[in-house]
């Protein structure tokens, strides 16, 4: 007897391909699905399509499903993706923030679309090729880090609800990337094993988000115009091309000569002003978090310190938290100052390997 029916999200890449092989080996009944989230022509990017939404990737996923003997479908969610993810991406930059589209996509688009289609196809679970793990503890589903700490993706999954986690399988969580490549080779999928990884935002494969903004919002540079670079004291020290084209912590491309490297410290959309500071001045010890999603327990511990990651590759910082009165926000006090705490990015809280929950960084602590 089989172990259940699983809807496997397939990008055509190494990770989801090996995840599908693993599930079949474990006795699951499999249905493959590839989500079409973006049309590269819509981004105004020239050249060959690459990434998870390209025709080649969709065909690779379909070919693997045919070879392994399970059905495969393509789900077109471009309209929802454009409305919720691309629109938010643009709006966040226009508000002087740095968005985190992968978190929003996982939370509001991919899991919702997968579970809806899973129900239609009679599937008991959904599965993806993420490097993360899930267990049940005390009646709650706990998300925790994958075995391969260098590839762990729990940071971008903090927004998943308990219902989503309860229906999700992460086959790769107990394996390293090298082990996954080895599995593909041993199974005779040498071409899959050698596929390169993509680190770009899926709808900006050339990694030029400034060019993307200008193509999506025609005349953006002219509408906003240039503004002042100021130092921490408010003295004008130069001119910039428009606040949406800069991010907190940015050093390159400022064209400012001050005798020491300068970094973007703060972005003020209302006055089209960018505050610059030296490296030391980019550090801060306090911020707050909005939109918190609890995972391991309903609340973060206010009596004991936790580890918080403020970006994907961040090693983590020891912090104490307090819930704000008459607010859903959480104040975070870092035990040691961290550089470039960026509004719009995610703060994800950990207890060892376990994800306690996460939310969006806000730097207005007043």
CATH number for the segment(s) 5-193: 3.40.50.620
Please, which pLDDT band fits residue 366 given cuts at 50, 70 and 90?
very low
Respond yes or no: is residue 202 known to be catalytic: yes
Per residue in 212-233, pLDDT tens? 999 999 999 889 999 999 999 9
Share of the chain above pLDDT 90, in %: 80
- Report the predicted TM-score, pTM, of the whole model to 2 decimal places: 0.92
CB 117 within 8 Å of CB 127: no
| Catalytic residue of the set 52, 53, 102, 202 | 202
In this prediction, residue 231 carries a pLDDT of 96
Summarised one tens digit per residue, pLDDT across range 302-334 is: 989 999 999 999 999 999 999 988 777 999 999
More confident position, 201 or 352:
352
Is 224-277 the same fold as 5-193? no
Q: How far apart are CA 305 and CA 124, in angstroms?
A: 38
Query: How far apart are alpha carbons 209 and 188 in whole angstroms?
Result: 38
- Scored b (16 or more CB within 10 A) or e, 339-356 reads ebbbbbbbbbbbbebbbb
Contacts of 91 (CB under 8 A, 6+ apart): none
Nearest to 310 by CA among 254, 249, 365, 251: 249
Burial of 333 (0-12, 13-18, 19+ CB in 10 A): middle
CB count in 10 Å sphere of residue 51? 20
Burial tier of 271 (Cβ tally within 10 Å: 0-12, 13-18, 19+):
exposed
Catalytic pick among 52, 53, 102, 105: 105
Biggest distance spanned by C-alpha atoms of the chain: 73
Q: Is 53 a catalytic residue?
A: no
Distance CA 169, CA 126 (A): 6
Quick one: pLDDT at residue 47? Answer: 45
Taking domain 282-362, whether its CATH number is 2.40.30.10 is answered by yes
Distance of CA 353 to the CA centre of its chain: 18
Per-residue pLDDT tens over the stretch 70-87: 999 999 999 999 989 999
Report how far residue 338's alpha carbon sits from residue 316's, in angstroms, rounded to the nearest whole number: 10
d(CA 205, CA 221): 22
Continuous H helices in the chain: 14-25, 55-68, 78-81, 87-94, 101-104, 111-120, 162-166, 177-186, 190-193, 209-216, 220-224
In the chain, DSSP finds a helix count (H) and a strand count (E) of: 11, 17
Asked whether the predicted pLDDT for residue 349 surpasses 60, the reply is yes
- Contact indicator for 263, 278 with CB cutoff of 8 Å: yes
Domain ranges of the chain: 5-193, 224-277, 282-362
Pick the CATH number of 224-277 from 3.40.710.10, 2.60.40.10, 2.30.30.280, 3.40.50.800: 2.30.30.280
Pairwise CA distance, residues 239 & 229, whole Å: 5
């Amino acid at each position: 007897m089989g172990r259940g029916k699983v809807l496997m999200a397939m990008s055509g890449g190494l990770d989801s391909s090996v995840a599908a092989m693993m599930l079949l080996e474990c006795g699951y009944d499999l249905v493959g699905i590839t989500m079409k989230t973006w049309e590269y022509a819509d981004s105004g990017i020239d050249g060959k399509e690459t990434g998870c939404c390209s025709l080649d990737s969709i065909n690779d996923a379909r070919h693997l499903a045919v070879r392994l003997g399970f059905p495969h479908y393509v789900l077109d969610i471009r309209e929802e993706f454009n409305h919720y993810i691309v629109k938010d991406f643009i709006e966040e930059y226009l508000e002087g923030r740095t968005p985190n589209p992968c978190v929003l996509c996982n939370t509001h688009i991919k899991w919702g679309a997968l579970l809806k289609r899973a129900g239609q196809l009679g599937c008991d679970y959904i599965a993806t090729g993420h490097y993360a793990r899930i267990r049940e503890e005390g009646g709650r589903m706990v998300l925790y880090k994958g075995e391969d700490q260098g590839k762990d993706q729990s940071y971008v999954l903090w927004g998943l609800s308990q219902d989503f986690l309860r229906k999700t399988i992460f086959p790769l969580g107990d394996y390293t990337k090298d082990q996954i490549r080895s599995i593909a080779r041993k199974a005779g999928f040498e071409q899959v094993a050698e596929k390169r990884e993509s680190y770009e935002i899926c709808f900006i494969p050339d990694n030029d988000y400034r060019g993307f903004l200008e193509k999506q919002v025609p005349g953006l540079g002219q509408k906003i115009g240039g503004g002042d670079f100021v130092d921490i004291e408010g003295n004008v020290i130069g001119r910039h091309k428009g606040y949406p084209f800069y991010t907190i912590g940015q050093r390159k491309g400022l064209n400012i000569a001050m005798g020491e490297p300068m970094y973007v410290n703060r972005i003020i959309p209302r006055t089209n002003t960018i505050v610059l500071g030296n490296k030391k001045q980019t550090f801060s010890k306090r911020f707050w978090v909005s939109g918190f999603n609890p995972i391991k327990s309903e609340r973060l511990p206010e009596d004991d310190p936790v580890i918080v990651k403020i970006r994907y590759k961040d090693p983590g910082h020891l912090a104490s938290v307090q819930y704000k009165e008459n607010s859903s926000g959480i104040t975070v006090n870092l035990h040691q100052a961290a550089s470039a705490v960026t509004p719009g990015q995610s703060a994800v809280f950990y207890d060892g390997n376990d994800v306690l929950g996460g939310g969006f960084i806000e730097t207005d602590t007043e």
